Chain A
């Protein structure tokens, strides 16, 4: 799966959880950039990403996620293994 395709799918998941249809994620987007991306929705987002892509993120992997690009990269890595 290409980065852009993963980003689009992650964007759809975020839109659904945050209940904000106009959320547009980029690789550089961080939690601070998105209204409503707090500690609670963060848990829901990670859970949703794991279920959607059928992957499991390790603790250190989620701790190193600084932006959406990092999330896309780890999803790509895990889904191409």
Chain B
């Protein structure tokens, strides 16, 4: 079995789209973007496609930020990542700008109460920390340690490019056992946990709790 890891290209757009949607669902039927903005999956896919075409780095909806793991030449897993605030703007601001540009403005503004609720379980991402977000492994390739290989390669490539950073951060939904177990196995520790006490959040997310995992790379 030959496992290789490479940077994603535009040819991987469909695979990355699937990854983002599956990561959003986190084992449920809920795509949070659809619930938050009251849009259909088809509408979300179109918006996502437009955003991915922009390839704006520094947030998770950017093809260049992804690595692809292939097993015997077949796409098997992917993971997004970036250095927080590398361009001077936070990932959440970049994403806001992208959503503003590609979404119906009224739907966006109407979603303010939902976004406010989501903010309750948002974490501050540390400037210049390596963020890993959106991970996806095709079912038949689970158990091969691809998650860990993607994290390690992400770190190696960033360091090789001359970037210096001390910490890796990953935010996961508490119910998403797969990345939680993988991060723990890789030496990440739970830094913070946030729970939204307003049950309305369960209309938007599969769970009301998010966890911030961290790892210092010189540990």
**In the complex, which residue of chain B has the Cβ closest to the Cβ of A30?**
B88
Q: Is A1 an interface residue (CB 8 A)?
A: no
| Interface assignment of A77: CB less than 8 Å from any CB of chain B | no
For A31, A39, A63, the residue with the greatest tally of chain B CB atoms inside 10 Å of its CB is A39
Task: Report the minimum CB–CB distance from A66 to chain B (whole Å).
Answer: 6
> For chain B residues 93-146, which have a beta carbon within 8 Å of chain A?
93-101, 105, 108-109, 112, 115-116, 119
Contact A44 B112 (CB under 8 A): yes
Give Cα distance in the complex from A47 to B126, angstroms.
27
Q: How far is the CA of A66 from the CA of B85 in the complex (A)?
A: 12
A47 neighbours in B (Cβ, 8 Å): 100, 105, 109
Q: Is B95's CB under 8 angstroms from A44's CB? A: no
Q: Is the CB of B112 within 8 A of A40?
A: yes
Cβ contacts under 8 Å, B116 to chain A: 40
- Chain A residues with CB under 8 Å of B98's CB are 59
Instruction: Kindly state the separation between the CA atoms of A46 and B109 in the bound complex, as whole angstroms.
Output: 11
With both beta carbons as reference points, the residue of chain A lying nearest to B105 in the complex is identified as A47
Closest CB-CB distance, B174 to chain A, in whole Å? 22
Q: Which residues of B contact A44 (CB under 8 A)?
A: 109, 112
A63 and B112 contact, Cβ closer than 8 Å, known pairs A42-B96, A43-B100, A47-B105: no
CB of A29 to closest CB in B, whole Å: 14
Chain B, interface size category, equals: 20 to 34
Flag whether A8 is at the interface (Cβ < 8 A): no
B56 touches A63 (CB 8 A): yes
Contact residues in B for A63 (Cβ distance below 8 Å):
56, 89, 94, 97
B100 & A46 in contact (Cβ 8 Å cutoff): yes
Residues of A within 8 A of B101 (CB): 59, 62
Q: For residues 21 through 74 of chain B, which have their beta carbon under 8 Å from a beta carbon of chain A?
A: 54, 56
Q: Which residues of A contact B108 (CB under 8 A)?
A: 43
Q: In whole angstroms, how far apart are the Cα atoms of A43 and B115 in the complex?
A: 11
A66 to B89, CA, bound (A): 7
Contact (A38, B100) CB under 8 Å given A43-B109, A47-B109, A66-B88: no
* B92 within 8 Å of A (CB atoms): yes
Q: List 5 extra interface pairs beyond A40-B96, A42-B93, CB under 8 A.
A: A39-B93, A43-B108, A46-B97, A47-B100, A62-B97
Chain A to chain B contacts (Cβ below 8 Å), 25 pairs: A38-B92, A38-B119, A39-B90, A39-B92, A39-B93, A39-B96, A39-B115, A40-B96, A40-B115, A42-B93, A42-B96, A42-B97, A43-B99, A43-B100, A43-B108, A43-B109, A46-B97, A46-B100, A59-B54, A59-B97, A59-B101, A62-B100, A63-B89, A63-B97, A66-B88
Q: For the complex of A and B, list the 3 residue pairs with the smallest distance between their C-beta atoms, beginning with the closest.
A: A39-B92, A39-B96, A59-B101
